[in-house]
């Protein structure tokens, strides 16, 4: 701990790697469908504007401050549209002398790909997040085809996300660009960010930006939280579901003066009912409770060019797992149960975080800024899974100092800086203590070129020293080229390096009788080496018109090649074996996605995803277990027009088809404890209806997995939990079955 304080003075920040949100649109002439070229489109009273191209299209950054979008063209009526969020719209200009009313048709696009930056980034707005039950960040990706959401085991109800077919530790997850879900919080951290706190999410596929560190391999997910000066003064969300989960969210925001705002965000959830739909004697999902508090302070002085944030975050979380009869007796005695009690477990977490961000934009040089961000987190988890005791304490300090400016002119921009990370881990698994402290410091430089026409290029490199990995270089390159009208090609190459916290990232293995074995190969991280991978990606987007409305097609191909990987081998049903990769490990991922609007106020997203993830295990090259090779995804939504009172109905449905997945080998188990080679494919349907009464109040009801698909016998040897074959990690589908929920949102 003392060491921490010496390092604390090492400061830092990065401004957002993710560029602004945008408003996109198409402008047409009169009642017909001929596009109008050269229409001026700009934010009222600003210089931010553009003109429509030969297809009548435009794209403008949306900064949340300006809401009046002006469209003007000679011979036509000038129109002012009220835009409250990044959207995609269609607009028909009416001739000046005609008496017809202005016909305004607007399609909200709640999730879209950025074409104003070289990285392949999908933006998810808060409106998209409202489409699902979405109680926390882990559940926020259900309407997004780029991310797979799986259950990690049959007990903890933990959702695990996968990107490009790789589990979440391969993805750098940042909160306002500060790396947050890492180390001890890797398994459960996504459930520690309540859904209502999220303002937007940016998903960057492939190599990330060097400004946020060297850890991202498959991609980066950045979460922007609600901002006290923009969020509602008062917000209340209550939620209840048929699986007896209750949630309450409350936001209170205050504007203290023209520069300072503060917000208080409270979240609580509770499930105190032991449900066992499949009668295996085990709860289908844990009982538990969480109390989660955040206080944000925001400072903005646009005249002098200062912006700043202070964040304080505290949470406690408790999950009770195991056999239904044992949970009634309570777990208050602490660690461990006697065998006679049955099989039970408890996971208790306390986490506290503080972060500061400050940025200064030179008033006379608007293209030059300096930023500093720094954060500290304390994470303490005490848990037992049956008789397996696992405790982890993780103190982490991060700081990043960044300078942004231009080379010669604003077509050539750069960001450079230094960052520092310190992690102190103290773990206990059964009777063995594992203690390690990791520190790394590095410098980075990222150059971005925009030829103001068709080419965007970002070249970044960082050099780091890590006490366990040594000195290494992380290069990353992104490029975007506009091939033709509305056709854009993106490419990227980059390296990612990370030290894997093998236990914290794979806690599901403790809920089994598997013996944990680490093949010590003399490395510095649990006797293993750091993970090291290269990622290559290509992406093509084509916009077009379908049913007289805008539509787009996106094709992505990404490949990840591991130089070294910490392989988790579950092919022997009695072991969970970790070792350094011997041979090859790679992930090929292809995705095709079409977004369209077949009718007014309707949107339809169709997607197909192929993941081919293979690793050389001790028993030969195999597909990564419990990862579907094929996935189809359909999301459809429809909303009625707003009435004068601003009331509206919204309907949303998502269909997912996951192809067969490979079970880890269970051939050596007794016949009754064996699993086939492949899981069956599964179909999942979610649906939700929202009734908006006015600006202030709305209610929603919905169902998840409404066709009631269930995995039978998710637990191997549920009848003998202390026997050698007990295993809860063989999960490919829902365990609980259909779940219905209702909630309300009220804001002032």
Partner 1 sequence: MKKFLVIAIFFSGAALFAQNKNQKTEIEVNGVCLMCKDRIEKAAIKNKGVKSAVWDVNTHKLSVIFDEGKISTEEIEQSVANVGHDTENLTAPKDAYDNLHPCCKYRDEEVIQGH
- Chain contacts with partner 1 (rule: CB under 8 A): 37-38, 40-42, 45, 47, 49-51, 72-76, 78, 96, 364-367, 406, 408-411, 452
* C-beta atoms surrounding 398 within 10 Å: 22
Least distance in angstroms from the C-beta of 453 to partner 1:
9
Least distance in angstroms from the C-beta of 40 to partner 1:
4
Question: Cα(11)–Cα(13) distance, rounded to whole angstroms?
Answer: 8
Least distance in angstroms from the C-beta of 368 to partner 1:
9
Residues 6 or more apart from 425 whose CB is under 8 A from it?
183, 184, 392, 393, 394, 434, 435, 436, 437, 438, 501
CB-count exposure of residue 33 (10 Å: 0-12, 13-18, 19+): middle
Three-point CA angle 162, 164, 170, nearest 5°: 60
Cβ proximity to partner 1: between 332 and 364 the closer is 364
Least distance in angstroms from the C-beta of 5 to partner 1:
40
Question: Cα(71)–Cα(42) distance, rounded to whole angstroms?
Answer: 7
Q: What Rg value do the Cα atoms of the chain yield, rounded?
A: 26
* C-beta atoms surrounding 53 within 10 Å: 17
Residues 6 or more apart from 61 whose CB is under 8 A from it?
19, 20, 21, 22, 23, 48, 116
Least distance in angstroms from the C-beta of 78 to partner 1:
8
H or E segment at 449? Answer: strand 432-450
Question: Cα(432)–Cα(502) distance, rounded to whole angstroms?
Answer: 15
Cβ proximity to partner 1: between 72 and 262 the closer is 72
Least distance in angstroms from the C-beta of 363 to partner 1:
11
Cβ proximity to partner 1: between 54 and 708 the closer is 54
Cβ proximity to partner 1: between 27 and 626 the closer is 27
Q: Residue 1 has which token pair?
A: 């701990």
Q: Phi and psi of 94, rounded to 5°?
A: -105, 135
Q: Which residue has the tokens 């990769």?
A: 581
Question: Cα(87)–Cα(62) distance, rounded to whole angstroms?
Answer: 9
Q: Residue 491 has which token pair?
A: 């490419």
Least distance in angstroms from the C-beta of 50 to partner 1:
5
Question: Cα(615)–Cα(626) distance, rounded to whole angstroms?
Answer: 13
Cβ proximity to partner 1: between 77 and 105 the closer is 77
Cβ proximity to partner 1: between 39 and 502 the closer is 39
* C-beta atoms surrounding 45 within 10 Å: 9
Cβ proximity to partner 1: between 28 and 558 the closer is 28
Q: What SS3 state is found at 363?
A: coil
DSSP 466-526: ETTTEEEEEEEEEEEEEEETTEEEEEEEEEEEE---HHHHTGGGGSBSPEEEE---S-SBT
8 A C-beta contact, residue 345 and residue 327: no
Q: Residue 358 has which token pair?
A: 């400050």
* HSE value, Cβ hemisphere, 13 Å, CA-based, for 702: 25
The residues that bridge with 418 in the sheet, in sequence order, are 401, 443
Cβ proximity to partner 1: between 78 and 272 the closer is 78
Cβ proximity to partner 1: between 15 and 607 the closer is 15
């Amino acid at each position: 701990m003392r060491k921490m304080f010496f390092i604390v003075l090492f400061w830092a920040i990065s401004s957002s790697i993710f560029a602004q949100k945008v408003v996109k649109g198409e402008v047409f002439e009169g009642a017909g469908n001929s596009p109008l070229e050269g229409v001026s489109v700009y934010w009222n009273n600003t210089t931010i504007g553009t003109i429509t191209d030969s297809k009548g299209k435009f794209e403008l950054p949306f900064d949340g401050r300006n809401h009046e979008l002006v469209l003007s063209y000679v011979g036509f009526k000038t129109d002012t549209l009220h835009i409250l969020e990044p959207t995609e719209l269609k607009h028909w200009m009416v001739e000046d002398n005609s008496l017809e009313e202005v016909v305004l048709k607007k399609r909200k696009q709640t999730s879209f790909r950025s074409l104003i930056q070289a990285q392949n980034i999908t933006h998810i707005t808060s409106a998209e997040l409202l489409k699902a039950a979405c109680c926390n960040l882990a559940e926020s990706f259900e309407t997004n085809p780029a991310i797979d959401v799986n259950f990690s085991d049959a007990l903890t109800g933990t959702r695990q996300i996968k990107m490009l077919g790789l589990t979440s530790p391969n993805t750098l997850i940042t909160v306002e660009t500060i790396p947050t879900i890492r180390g001890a919080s890797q398994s459960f951290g996504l459930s520690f960010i309540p859904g209502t706190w999220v303002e937007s999410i940016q998903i960057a596929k492939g190599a990330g930006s060097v400004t946020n560190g060297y850890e991202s391999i498959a991609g980066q997910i950045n979460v922007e939280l609600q901002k006290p000066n923009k969020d509602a003064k008062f917000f209340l969300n209550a939620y209840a579901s048929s699986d007896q989960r209750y949630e309450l969210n409350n936001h209170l925001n205050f504007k203290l003066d023209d520069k300072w705002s503060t917000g208080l965000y409270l979240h609580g959830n509770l499930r105190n009912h032991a449900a066992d739909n499949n009668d295996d004697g085990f709860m289908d999902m844990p009982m538990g409770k969480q109390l989660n508090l955040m206080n944000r302070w925001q400072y903005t002085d646009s005249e002098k060019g200062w912006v700043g944030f202070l964040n304080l975050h505290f949470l406690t979380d408790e999950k009770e797992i195991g056999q239904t009869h044992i949970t009634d007796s309570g777990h208050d005695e602490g660690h461990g149960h006697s065998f006679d009690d049955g099989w039970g477990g408890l996971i208790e977490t306390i986490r506290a975080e503080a972060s500061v961000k400050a940025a200064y934009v030179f008033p006379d040089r608007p293209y030059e800024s300096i930023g500093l961000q720094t954060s500290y987190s304390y994470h303490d988890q005490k848990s037992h899974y049956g008789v397996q005791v696992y405790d982890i304490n993780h103190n982490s300090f991060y700081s990043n100092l960044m300078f942004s400016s231009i080379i010669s002119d604003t077509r050539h921009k750069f960001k450079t800086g230094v960052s520092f990370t310190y992690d102190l881990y103290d773990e206990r698994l059964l009777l063995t203590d594992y203690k390690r402290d990791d520190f790394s410091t590095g410098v980075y430089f990222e150059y971005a070129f925009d030829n103001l026409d068709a080419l965007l290029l970002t070249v970044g490199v960082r050099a780091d020293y890590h006490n366990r990995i040594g000195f290494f270089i992380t290069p990353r390159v992104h490029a975007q080229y506009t091939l033709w009208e509305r056709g854009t090609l993106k490419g990227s190459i980059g390296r990612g390096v990370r030290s894997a916290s093998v236990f914290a990232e794979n806690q599901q293995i403790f809920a089994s009788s598997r013996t944990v074995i680490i093949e010590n190969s003399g490395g510095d991280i649990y006797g293993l080496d750091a993970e090291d991978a290269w990622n290559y990606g290509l992406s093509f987007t084509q916009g077009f018109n379908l049913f007289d409305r805008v539509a787009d097609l996106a094709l992505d191909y990404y490949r990840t090649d591991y130089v070294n990987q910490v392989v988790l081998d579950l092919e022997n049903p009695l072991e969970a074996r970790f070792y350094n990769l011997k041979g090859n490990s790679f992930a090929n991922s292809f995705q095709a996605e079409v977004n369209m609007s077949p009718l007014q106020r309707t949107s339809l997203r169709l997607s197909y995803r192929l993941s081919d993830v293979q690793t050389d295990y001790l028993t030969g090259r195999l597909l990564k277990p419990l990862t579907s090779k094929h996935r189809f995804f359909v999301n459809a939504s429809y909303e009625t027009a707003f009435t004068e009172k601003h009331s509206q109905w919204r309907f949303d449905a998502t269909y997912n088809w996951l192809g067969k997945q490979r079970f880890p080998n269970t051939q050596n188990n007794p016949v009754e404890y064996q699993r086939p080679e492949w899981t069956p494919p599964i179909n999942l349907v979610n649906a939700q209806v929202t009734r908006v009464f006015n600006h202030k109040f709305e209610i929603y009801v919905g169902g998840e997995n409404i066709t009631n698909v269930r995995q039978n016998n998710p637990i191997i040897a549920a009848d003998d939990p202390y026997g050698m074959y007990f295993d809860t990690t063989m999960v490919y589908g829902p365990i609980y079955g259909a779940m219905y929920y209702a909630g309300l949102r009220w804001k002032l």
